[in-house]
Amino acid sequence: MSTCAIVGINWGDEGKGRMVDLLTEQYDVVVRYQGGGNAGHTVINDKGKFALHLLPSGIFRPGVVNVLGNGVALDAENLWNEMQQVISQGVPLTPDNLKISSRASLLLPWHRQLDGLEEARLADKQYGSTKQGIAPFYSDKYQKKTVLAGELFYPEKLKEHLADLLEWKNLTLTRVYGAPAVTMEELLEWVNDYGEKIKPYICDTGAYLRDAYKQDKRILFEAQLGSLRDLDFGIVPYTTSSNPVAAYAPVGSGLTNARVEDVIGVVKAYSTCVGEGPFTCEMFGEEADKLREAGFEYGAKTGRPRRVGPIDIVATRYGVEVQGATEIALTKLDVLSYLDKIPVCTRYKLYGELTDEFPFPSALPDAEPVTEYLEGWKTDISSCRKWEDLPKAAQDYVLYVEERIGCFIKYVSVGPERDSIIIR
Ligand code: GDP
């Protein structure tokens, strides 16, 4: 029996997609257990370059079964478009290698619309939403006002359910936001169109997974975003509206009887953050521009320039603990090769005291970074494939981070390609 979760330790965009793509070789099933089309995983392999938003990153491996669990925000329109894109690039998708949980709730067009309306209302106090409808979707889910994918198989009952939801949702749209009401025709057209398209892939994935687990199939849980974006443990309210922590994987995947044995935490060799909220280690000016360019730090979904900074030991150690990471994949080490000295945010200064503890969200904006510098290696490391190939200064950097965050760094990634990896 083998279960493993690949999770982000920081703000997301750590390079989880490339790690899942690399490790899927060792797994039979890959499951997405939370989130929706709001984040992107970039995967580069022999079939090309792919920006995945909803599809599990195991779809490129023949024989791997990919599951969208009950915990995801099932945006049928975006999913269908993504499926067509991937198929056009030569990746086969069939009900045999892609399964959608009948218990996943549908993200409806009004969720995206409400996301935009609320961000506009917030004006200069925006949460930095990607406007993919994720927050309105999960709010509705917890109010039990969403449609389960499996309801598509009961069209008459679904129609009644949709009519009730429409009446309720139009109150918010028209009276709170002054937006036009959605008509039943518009709603039905969307549901019928995209619902029919994804219907062949919908099944009882909980039963499928329990069965696979009993048969000792190796199951990989794939998370989106990272610890600091977790709804309960992240930098509230600048979080996502679901739980990227590994502890949620059994619930969000539908494999509630499983324990996650291994948790691979993905950490980038420096920090990036998309959107609003405290980002203690943030760099500015020319220093930031150089790092952003070197790492090509622009959002996979939005194209927004990412905020950048040195690795943040305080936030990363917290992320490791919250995730219960059993080993770490350190990505993009190659990006730091241009630096003479490598900056590291080693501690925070908070209310006049030095601290190693990650502060409560209310205090976090008051924290200041304490930056120290390690020796740079100033040489291209992207062709290194063995630990011994890395220059001493690069090894020292990895060992320093490992010691400070308290978790073994098993993988060191030195490029985006599948084989650009050092396994210790
Ligand atoms: P994810 O959401 O955690 O999968 O991260 P993203 O896909 O947003 O960001 C990772 C980006 O970095 C992608 O463009 C990857 O191809 C790229 N990448 C991943 N690992 C490495 C690495 O070790 N070196 C370099 N140069 N790029 C990498």
Which residue from 6, 18, 328 has its CB within 8 A of the most atoms of ligand 1, so it is best to mutate?
A: 18
Tell me: the pLDDT tens digits for 4-23?
Answer: 999 999 999 999 988 988 89
Among 272, 260, 336, smallest CA distance to 304 is for 272
What's the whole-number mean pLDDT along residues 21-27?
89
Which segments of 199-239 does DSSP mark as H helices, in order? 205-214
pLDDT of 301 reads 64
Supply the residues annotated as catalytic.
13, 41
pLDDT of 32 reads 95
Residue list, ligand 1 pocket, CB within 6 Å: 8, 12-18, 39-42, 44, 300, 331-332, 334-335, 413-416
Q: Are 172 and 71 in contact (CB under 8 A)?
A: no
Return the residue whose CA atom lies nearest to atom 17 of ligand 1: 416
What's the whole-number mean pLDDT along residues 410-419?
94
**Ligand 1 centroid distance, CA of 407 (Å):** 21
Return the residue whose CA atom lies nearest to atom 28 of ligand 1: 416
Q: Is the pLDDT of residue 302 over 90?
A: no
What is the token pair recorded at 303?
């194209």
Any residues with CB less than 8 A from the CB of 255 and at least 6 apart, and which? 3, 31, 206, 209, 210, 213, 219, 249
Banded pLDDT at 39 (limits 50, 70, 90): confident
pLDDT of 369 reads 98
Tell me whether residue 192 is exposed, middle or buried, using C-beta atoms within 10 angstroms of its C-beta: 0 to 12, 13 to 18, 19 or more: middle
Return the residue whose CA atom lies nearest to atom 25 of ligand 1: 415
**Ligand 1 centroid distance, CA of 77 (Å):** 26
Which pairing describes strands 327-331 and 409-413: parallel, antiparallel, or unpaired? parallel
Which residue from 42, 52, 414 has its CB within 8 A of the most atoms of ligand 1, so it is best to mutate?
A: 42
A 10 A CB-CB count for 251 gives 15
Which residue from 57, 296, 331, 337 has its CB within 8 A of the most atoms of ligand 1, so it is best to mutate?
A: 331
Return the residue whose CA atom lies nearest to atom 16 of ligand 1: 416
Return the residue whose CA atom lies nearest to atom 11 of ligand 1: 15
Banded pLDDT at 300 (limits 50, 70, 90): low
**Ligand 1 centroid distance, CA of 19 (Å):** 9
Q: Is the pLDDT of residue 99 over 80?
A: yes
Paired residues of 100 in beta bridges: 68, 202
Atom of ligand 1 nearest to the CA of 39: 2
Helix 313-323 with 392-405: angle, nearest 10 deg: 60
Atom of ligand 1 nearest to the CA of 420: 23
Which pairing describes strands 65-68 and 307-312: parallel, antiparallel, or unpaired? unpaired
What is the token pair recorded at 150?
């499996």
**Ligand 1 centroid distance, CA of 287 (Å):** 20
Q: Is the pLDDT of residue 129 over 90?
A: no
Quote the Cα angle for 292-296-299, to 5°: 95
Could you give the CA distance from residue 295 to residue 168 in angstroms, rounded to a whole number?
46
Q: Are 5 and 31 in contact (CB under 8 A)?
A: no
Q: Is the pLDDT of residue 156 over 90?
A: yes
Atom of ligand 1 nearest to the CA of 300: 8
Return the residue whose CA atom lies nearest to atom 27 of ligand 1: 416
The alpha carbon of 119 is separated from its chain's Cα centroid by a whole number of angstroms, namely 21
Identify each DSSP E strand in 214-366 by its residue range.
218-226, 262-268, 270-273, 307-312, 327-331, 341-350, 353-355
Could you give the CA distance from residue 350 to residue 354 in angstroms, rounded to a whole number?
6
**Ligand 1 centroid distance, CA of 235 (Å):** 23
Q: Is the pLDDT of residue 29 over 70?
A: yes
**Ligand 1 centroid distance, CA of 264 (Å):** 16
Q: Is the pLDDT of residue 1 over 70?
A: no
What's the whole-number mean pLDDT along residues 129-150?
92
pLDDT of 219 reads 97
Higher pLDDT pick, 130 / 176: 176
Q: Which residue has the tokens 């999770």?
A: 7
Distance between terminal CA atoms of the chain?
A: 23
Q: Tell me which of 61-65, 242-246, 299-303 is least confident.
A: 299-303
Atom of ligand 1 nearest to the CA of 57: 4
pLDDT of 276 reads 86
**Ligand 1 centroid distance, CA of 57 (Å):** 13
Could you give the CA distance from residue 376 to residue 262 in angstroms, rounded to a whole number?
32
Could you give the CA distance from residue 279 to residue 405 in angstroms, rounded to a whole number?
18
pLDDT of 121 reads 87
Q: Are 146 and 76 in contact (CB under 8 A)?
A: no
Tell me: the pLDDT tens digits for 159-196?
Answer: 999 999 999 999 999 999 999 999 999 999 999 999 99
Atom of ligand 1 nearest to the CA of 8: 3
Could you give the CA distance from residue 55 to residue 201 in angstroms, rounded to a whole number?
12
Atom of ligand 1 nearest to the CA of 299: 8
Q: Is the pLDDT of residue 323 over 80?
A: yes
Which residue from 19, 332, 422 has its CB within 8 A of the most atoms of ligand 1, so it is best to mutate?
A: 332
**Ligand 1 centroid distance, CA of 63 (Å):** 25
